[in-house]
Amino acid sequence: MEVCRQINEVREFVKEQKREGQEVGFVPTMGYLHQGHLSLMKEARKDNDIVVVSIFVNPTQFEPDEDYEEYPRDLERDLKLAAEVGVDLVFAPEVEEVYSTQSLTTVQVADLSDRLCGESRPNHFTGVCTIVSKLFNIVGPDRAYFGQKDAQQVLIIKRLVKDLNFEIEIVTVPIAREKDGLAISSRNKYLNESEREAALVLYNSLQLAKKLIIAGEKNAEIIKTKIVERIKGEPLAELDYVEIVDQNTLASLSEVKNKVLIALAVYIGQTRLIDNIMLEVETEC
């Protein structure tokens, strides 16, 4: 497995592969790899001749008061895990390599970036879209892999690719969960034992919502209220948001119908966790 620190090295490597007619899959990550990241890499391994992974804790997608400095990092361990799933190249640049000059350009997907997570993280998706655009231009992949765990991010990236005419297929990979249902996240590392237990409230409240919908409940406010009650019942949890929205537009729904996304963000102690479920609800004629 190649490990590159410089943009030029990545470009050279990929150019050479493309000259030989190889197809390239790309998995962007912030490292501290876990089963969620590895499931993206395995999927990329299946579809492509060459798999490129980036490991870069992108400062521009953190708000000033967030955990950029403390965000867990362990490149040595990450390289081992990436090699084990057959990754061909890891791009692990320093911040100065990526943002080398005082850049004046950002990439913003309007509207979709302001909703859900965008309300409490107003700069987050501009940071994500800018780094993803830069990485797409550096790597030049045929396909790129993103996790359903960040449902809003996937939707925004798909829109970015469409609007800016990137010739890249975006592949979405299901949420990898712990045995008890907790969505796997690098930030789970911050949780102590009691917080880890409390964190289950995200998954459990989404399951409760699913049960209500299967039982015929269509009123989004009623479902949201049940979720809020469940989260309030957990003393270590504090709700950031819960939204029931259309999967394609992220517009709020009053009635649960068609392709629905239920997404939430909850603070467990100091740690902000997200989770979601997608449901297809048949409408009665």
Part of the chain binding ligand AMP (CB under 6 A), chosen from 117-125, 172-180, 229-237, 247-255:
172-180
Least distance (Å) between residue 15 CB and ligand AMP: 25
* Tokens read off for 69: 């400095």
- Of the residues 17, 29, 48, 205, which one makes contact with ligand AMP according to CB under 6 A: 29
Judge whether 281 and 214 are in contact, CB under 8 Å.
Answer: no
Least distance (Å) between residue 16 CB and ligand AMP: 26
Q: Which of 37, 159, 224, 272 is catalytic?
A: 37
Q: What is the largest CA-CA distance in the chain?
A: 58
User: Where does the chain show beta strands of DSSP type E?
Assistant: 2-4, 24-29, 50-55, 89-91, 143-147, 169-173, 237-246, 258-268, 271-281
Least distance (Å) between residue 19 CB and ligand AMP: 29
Using the minimum distance from each CB to ligand AMP, give the nearer residue, 185 or 271.
185
Q: Does 81 bind ligand AMP (CB under 6 A)?
A: no
- What amino acid is encoded at 261 in this protein? L
Angstrom distance (rounded) from CA 135 to CA 120: 25
Using the minimum distance from each CB to ligand AMP, give the nearer residue, 50 or 183.
183
Judge whether 127 and 225 are in contact, CB under 8 Å.
Answer: no
Q: Does 127 bind ligand AMP (CB under 6 A)?
A: no
Part of the chain binding ligand AMP (CB under 6 A), chosen from 75-83, 99-107, 146-154, 191-199:
146-154
Q: Is 37 considered catalytic here? A: yes
Sheet-wide strand order for 89-91: 2-4, 89-91, 50-55, 24-29, 143-147, 169-173
3-state SS class at 92: coil
Contacting ligand AMP within 173-212 (CB under 6 A): 173, 175-176, 183-186
3-state SS class at 103: coil
Angstrom distance (rounded) from CA 222 to CA 130: 38
**Per-residue interface string for the shown chain with ligand AMP, residues 238-267, x marking contact by CB under 6 A:** ------------------------------
User: Backbone phi, then psi, for 252, in 5-degree steps?
Assistant: -60, 140
Find all residues with CB under 8 Å of 22, minimum gap 6, and list them.
Answer: 48, 49, 50
Using the minimum distance from each CB to ligand AMP, give the nearer residue, 175 or 213.
175
**Per-residue interface string for the shown chain with ligand AMP, residues 30-69, x marking contact by CB under 6 A:** x-----xx-xx-----------------------------
Using the minimum distance from each CB to ligand AMP, give the nearer residue, 73 or 211.
73
Q: Does 146 bind ligand AMP (CB under 6 A)?
A: yes
> Interface with ligand AMP by CB under 6 A: which residues?
29-30, 36-37, 39-40, 146-147, 149-150, 173, 175-176, 183-186
Active-site residue set: 37
